[in-house]
Amino acid sequence: MTEFETVIGLEVHVELGTQTKIFCGCAVEFGAPPNTHVCPVCLGSPGALPVLNEEALKLAIRAALALNCTVRQESKFDRKNYFYPDSPKAYQISQYDEPVGEHGFIEITVQGEKKRIGITRVHLEEDAGKLTHSPYGDASLVDLNRVGIPLIEIVSEPDLRTAEEARLYLEELKSIMQYCAISECKMEEGSLRCDANISLREVGQRELGTKTEIKNMNSFRNVQRGLEYEEQRQKKMLLKNEKIVQQTMRFHEESGATVAMRSKEDAHDYRYFPEPDLPRISLSREYSEERRAEIPELPAERRQRFVEVYGLPLYDAEVLTVTKALADYFDGTASRVRDPKSASNWIMGDLLAHVKANGLEMEQVRVKPEQLAELIGVIEKGTISSKIAKNVLKEMLDSGKDAKVIIEEQGLIQISDEGQLREIALRIIATNKKSVEDFKAGKEKALGALVGQMMKETKGKANPQLVNQIMLALISD
C-alpha cells in the first residue's frame, strides 16, 4: 500500500494591539456598534489619503524579530486588487514583494524532539470589513469598523507534517505574540486567524502534491480537526487514483468536515502594484535594534530556564509559561521560596483552579506573588500545615489579605509543642482503646484513625509529622 506524507503550511493573521487603525485615526474597538469607527480613509472616499500608524510598524518589526526574521531595511506597500463588499476601495493595502520580515523560524517540540518550522515572511496589511447576512432576506450587510485594523500575516514554510504539529506551531506562535505584547491573539474575537494549506505526496517524492486551503477554523483544536479530516479525505482520493482539485475548503464545525467553497482558477489574479499613496519604508539598524530590545525572554527560553534554574519538571514548565503573566507570577513566587517546586504546585493547583473557576486573568488575582511566597514560607517553617494552608490561600484569594494576618486572626498556628501534643495523644488513646488494641494486633491502619482523631481534636492545627511520631511511640510501648 502506498505510504503518504502530509505537507502543511499555515497562514496566520494577527491583529496588532494598537489604539487606532493602520492608516487613519479611527479607534480600534472590538464589538462596537456597526460603522461607528469609520472615516473617509476607511470608506475609500476619493482624495482620502492613508498615513501609516507608527505603533503598527513598531509592532510588526518586533514580531518579525521575535520570529527570527531578517528585517528588510527597505520595504513598501502594495495594492492587492479585488472586488468584494468588504473592501470599499476595491483593494487591500498589503505588502507583496518587500515584506517587512522574511526567512525566520520558530521551534516547536514534537514528542520530545525539537523541530524548526520556517517562517517565509511577515508582512503588514489592513483588515477588511465584516459581512453578515441580512435577517430580512436576500442581502448582505456591511460593517466597516474592521476595515483598516492593522494586521500582520505570518506565512510558514510547508514544514509541518501532521495536524498536531500545526497546532503546536500555532500555540507557540500565539505565546510569542502575547509575550511580546503584539496582540491579544483572541481567536474567538478574530484577533488571531488561521488558514491552512495541506497536500499529500508519496513518501520519498520530492515535488509537492496538489494542495487545498482550509478556512474558517476558529480554534486551535478545530485547526487540528480540519487538517485531520482533510488529510484523510485527500488520502482516500489518492488511493482511488482520483485527482485532488486545488480549491478552498471551508471547515464545518458541527460535522468536523471540510467542504469545498470555490475553485481558484483566475480568481486570484490580484494585479498587485505599488501603493502610490504611501511612501516607502526605510528602517535604520538602530530602529530594528530598539525593537529587538523590546522583546522579552520568549516562552521557549523561559521553559528551559524554569527546568534548569528552578529544577521544575518539563510539564510544569510548559504549563507555567503558556502566558507571560503566569510565567511572571511563577518567577515572582519561586524566586522568594526555598523550594520552587512547591511554588509550582500551589500555582498549578489551587491558584489556577481559582483563576479558572472565576474566569479571571492572572492580573486580576488578588494574591500577589510575594504574598503566595510568604504563605509557602510559613508552611516551610512549620507554622501551619499544608492542609490548613489550602484554606488560608482560599481566604487570601477572596480577601487579598496576607497569610500571616489570616493565620493570626483565626488562630491557625500549627501546634508543634511536643508536650502539648503528647498530652492530647494520651487523652485520645484513653478514649479509643479499641483502636490501640487493633494496632497492637497488627492492624496498622488503626494508627491512621488515632492520628485522625488528634487532627480533629486540634482542628487540623497539629503538626501531622509530630503527631505521627508521638502517637506511634506511645502505642508501640
Partner 1 sequence: MSLTKDDVYRVAALARLQVNEEEIEALVSDLSRILKYADQLQQLDLMGVKPMSYVLATHTVTRPDVIGSSLTPEEALTNGPDVEEQQFRVPAVLEG
Task: Considering only the stretches 78-86, 119-127, 395-403, 413-421, report the one whose residues sit in contact with partner 1 under the rule CB under 8 A.
Answer: 78-86
Residue 260 to residue 214: CA distance in whole angstroms: 9
What is the C-alpha separation between 368 and 378, in angstroms, rounded?
A: 16
Q: Which of 152, 155, 157 is CA-nearest to residue 182? A: 152
**Does residue 51 bind partner 1 (CB under 8 A)?**
yes
Binding test (CB under 8 A) with partner 1, winner from 30, 70, 85, 456? 85
d(CA 264, CA 15): 26
- Please give the single-letter amino acid code of residue 91: Y
Please check whether residue 93 is in contact with residue 125, taking contact to mean a CB–CB distance below 8 angstroms.
yes
For partner 1, the closer of residues 132 and 232 by Cβ is 132
Instruction: For 420, list phi and psi in degrees, rounded to 5.
Output: -65, -40
**If binding is defined by CB under 8 A, does position 459 make contact with partner 1?**
no
Task: Find how far residue 357's CA is from the centre of its chain.
Answer: 18
Task: Determine whether 148 is exposed, middle or buried from the number of CB atoms within 10 Å of its CB (0-12, 13-18, 19+).
Answer: buried
* Residue 92 touching partner 1 (CB under 8 A): no
Cβ distance to partner 1 smaller for residue 141 or 208: 141
For the CB of residue 173, give the shortest distance to partner 1 in the complex, in Å: 24
Out of 11, 55, 184, 402, name the contact with partner 1 by CB under 8 A. Answer: 55
Choice from 161, 250, 336, 368 touching partner 1 (CB under 8 A)? 250
**Whose CA is closest to 27, among 145, 183, 112, 171?**
145
When asked if residue 25 is in the footprint of partner 1 (CB under 8 A), the reply is yes
Of 115-123, 138-146, 292-300, 312-320, which segment contacts partner 1 by CB under 8 A?
138-146
C-beta of 84: minimal distance to partner 1 in Å?
A: 6
Query: Concatenated DSSP letters for 439-473?
Result: HHTT-THHHHHHHHHHHHHTTT-B-HHHHHHHHHH
By CB under 8 A, which span of 4-12, 55-63, 430-438, 452-460 interacts with partner 1? Answer: 55-63
Of 12, 303, 328, 55, the closest CA to residue 174 belongs to 12
Q: Which stretch binds partner 1 (CB under 8 A): 177-185, 219-227, 268-276, 421-429?
A: 268-276
| Only segment of 261-269, 321-329, 330-338, 436-444 that touches partner 1 (CB under 8 A) | 261-269
Give 413's DSSP letter: -
Residue 435, C-beta contacts closer than 8 angstroms, at least 6 positions apart: 446, 449, 450, 453
Q: Is 286 in the site for partner 1 (CB under 8 A)?
A: no
Looking at the Cβ atoms of 275 and 316, the one nearer to partner 1 is 275
Cell of 359: 474566569
According to CB under 8 A, which one of 53, 333, 371, 432 is a site residue for partner 1?
53
Closer CB to partner 1, 55 or 402, in the complex: 55
* 134 contributes a contact to partner 1 by CB under 8 A: yes
Question: Cα torsion at 355, 356, 360, 361 (round to 10°)?
Answer: 80
Q: Which amino acid is at 160?
A: L
33 binds partner 1 (CB under 8 A): yes
Residue 37 lies near partner 1 (rule: CB under 8 A): yes
Is residue 255 at the binding interface for partner 1, with CB under 8 A as the rule? no
Quick check: 91 and 126 in contact, CB under 8 A? no
> Taking the alpha carbons of 466, 467, 468, 469 in that order, is the dihedral positive or negative?
positive
**Which residue of 10, 15, 18, 331 would you call a contact of partner 1, by CB under 8 A?**
18
Q: Does 138 bind partner 1 (CB under 8 A)?
A: yes
Residue whose CB is less far from partner 1, 215 or 235: 215
- Min dist. Cβ of residue 52 to partner 1 (A): 5
Least distance in Å: CB of 101 to partner 1? 16
Q: Minimum Å distance from CB 85 to partner 1?
A: 5
Nearer residue to partner 1 within complex by CB, 56 or 428: 56
Of 8, 57, 63, 185, the one binding partner 1 (CB under 8 A) is: 57
Q: Does 290 bind partner 1 (CB under 8 A)?
A: no
HSE-CB for 56 with a 13 A CA cutoff? 26
Cβ atoms of 168 and 34 closer than 8 Å: no
457 binds partner 1 (CB under 8 A): no
> 365: which 3 cell numbers?
488575582
| Least CB distance to partner 1 at residue 283 (A) | 7
Backbone dihedral region for residue 14 (phi beyond 0: left; psi -120 to 50: alpha; all else: beta) = beta
Rounded to whole angstroms, what are the CA distances from 208 to 104, 277, 455, 470?
Answer: 22, 38, 68, 73
One residue of 282, 420, 465, 469 binding partner 1 per CB under 8 A = 282
Q: Which is nearer to partner 1, 159 or 275 (CB)?
A: 275
Give the Å distances, CA to CA, from 282 to 274, 286, 287, 342, 399: 15, 12, 10, 50, 53
Q: Compute the residue count for the chain.
A: 477
Binding residues for partner 1, rule CB under 8 A, total 56
Pick the closer one to partner 1 by CB: 144 or 412. Answer: 144
> Which residues form the interface with partner 1 (CB under 8 A)?
18-20, 24-27, 33-40, 42-43, 51-57, 76, 81, 83-86, 131-134, 136, 138-144, 250, 261-262, 266, 269, 271, 274, 276, 278-283
